[in-house]
Amino acid sequence: MRRRTLSVKRPFAAGGIRFPRPSFIGLLCTALLVASLPVCAQSVESALARSRYSQDHKVTIITLFTETAESDIPTDLLLPKLEEGIAKGIPAPRVLGALRREAENLMQARALMLHSEEGKRLLADPASWARTANLMAVGVSIEEIEELIALCNRRIEGFRPATYLYVALLEWGLGRKPALDLIGPLLVSSIPPDSYMGVMDLLAGGRRRRIPPEELVPRIQRHLEHANSIKELEKWIY
């Protein structure tokens, strides 16, 4: 299947920015850049204070966060990746590369979500925006993401749980179409979104009972309308 690509502006340079020594200049640049960051992103400075990164690398990271904020991307969506890299002692160049990729994924996710009314509603939720970027990062196609967004038109809050289940179903060995065909009825059922991953337990139980997926999945689809929970659904399908 041919994958569509989105044309988006990529303002982040591939190489790092270097500032002249002495270190006083680097410190001055850092102070000025931090002052320009939104209040929610001031914790970038405290995160960097815990690192052993050079002053040049710190300035480059802060510059990246500033550019991200200027592109209307919430900087707090990038902060966990920075904190994780620092906590694990990952070298600054690798952290910078990961931050740039994450920022570009967020830009691409926004461009995709703006294509539909459902996507625009999801874009208002930073967690759903970040999840869409994550789906793109792990290789889920644009077409698949668009289908998942469309399926959530009547249950926007089910988007993230549904996408976690979708990826789990693919990893389990279910094909794209059966997975989407299962998620659609699930989203309009009475089962709470935070229980969606329980479907994986049903599939595992079916495997133990030697029920092939091509038989069990239609059973689940057929009985979703009768169940208010995964536990109730289990009684119908086995």
Q: Across all residues in the chain, what is the average pLDDT?
A: 86
What is the DSSP code string of 45-103? HHHHHTS---HHHHHHHHHHHHHHHHTT--GGGTHHHHHHHHHTT--HHHHHHHHHHHH
Mean pLDDT of 22-35: 47
Say what the pLDDT of residue 26 is. 47
**pLDDT at 67 > cutoff 50:** yes
Say what the pLDDT of residue 199 is. 97
> Percent of the chain, pLDDT > 70?
82
CA quadruple 23, 26, 30, 31: dihedral sign:
positive
Spatial separation of the C-alpha atoms in residues 212 and 10, rounded to whole Å: 46
Q: Residue 186 CA to chain centroid, in angstroms?
A: 21
Peptide bond into 22 cis (omega under 30): yes
